[in-house]
Amino acid sequence: MKLKVVCLNLWHGGRLFDELVAFLKRESPDVVMMQEVYGGTDPKLERRFRSVPALQEALDYPYAHFAPAFMQIMDEGNQEAGNGVLSRLPFLKTAVIPYGYPYRALRDVPEEWGTEPHVIQHVVVGVGGKETHVMNFHGPRDLDGDNFSDARREMGEAMIRAAEGRQNVIIGGDSNARPTNQALREVAKVLKPVWEVGELKTTFNLKHKYKVDPGYAESVVDVMYVSENIEVLAKDCPDVDVSDHRPLVVELVIT
């Protein structure tokens, strides 16, 4: 059975919210894996601070799950930040797998990036009668994409542990690391990369990132891996203006 998945860092909850909604309506994926998601629910909040319910309502997805990683301290008011999944398929199980530093409150400033908590969001959906494990993650921030830091080693080990012993695994997200990083090379020994090293030049939206640092033009940080039994039918990383990242759009066959 086929499954269409979009994976995207929303950029502070969805700074380009209308464009994001229009893109997802056009693509019409079965599952949306999202990073830089805020977990607010108060309808008075700006839409990006209640990313999951606002997108669920705008796109008419019946199933949604938010996985908090930390409390972000902001001038607009503190909000839980983490990962989110929207789905047209019901969730059979959900879990939040923390790794690295424990949950805490922090500001989005470089001085605090090194101790930012992280989670792998794990939801199980039924695809053609088979349990399919969708694992959504956001990796430690480090401007050196090839630096094999302790935090990145923990990320790779957490990904491998989450996938171990399972079939029908899809794991993806903003790794904040290049695929050549040793942490991701270890993951690629266990799971099949949807994009091989060198297939993509960048996963950043350069309309926003090139002005900050030209190095983003040659940085691939958004990744996806699948178990060997999953066939990749189609894949794309379109240059669309919906975030400061480009989305990963993948069509899979669960056999």
Q: What domains can you pick out in the chain, each with its CATH number?
A: 2-254 (3.60.10.10)
Where does residue 30 rank: exposed (0-12), middle (13-18), buried (19+ CB within 10 A)?
buried
Q: At residue 180, does pLDDT exceed 70?
A: yes
Q: What is the pLDDT of residues 186-245, one digit of tens each?
A: 999 999 999 999 999 999 999 998 666 778 999 999 999 999 999 999 999 999 999 999
Average pLDDT over residues 22-48: 96
Judged by DSSP in three states, 253 sits in strand
Average pLDDT over residues 10-20: 98
Q: Give residue for tokens 């997200």.
A: 173
* Other beta carbons less than 10 A from residue 201's beta carbon: 11
Q: What is the 3-state secondary structure (H, E, C) of 205-246?
A: CHHHHCCCCHHHHHCCCEEEEECCCEEEEEEECCCCCCCCEC
Integer Cα distance of 168 and 152 in angstroms? 24
Q: At residue 14, does pLDDT exceed 80?
A: yes
pLDDT at 209: 84
User: What region, left, alpha or beta, does residue 60 occupy, with left being phi > 0 and alpha being psi -120 to 50 degrees?
Assistant: left
pLDDT above 90: percentage of residues in the chain: 93
Q: What is the pLDDT of residues 92-127, one digit of tens each?
A: 999 999 999 999 999 999 999 999 999 999 999 999
Question: Structure pTM?
Answer: 0.97
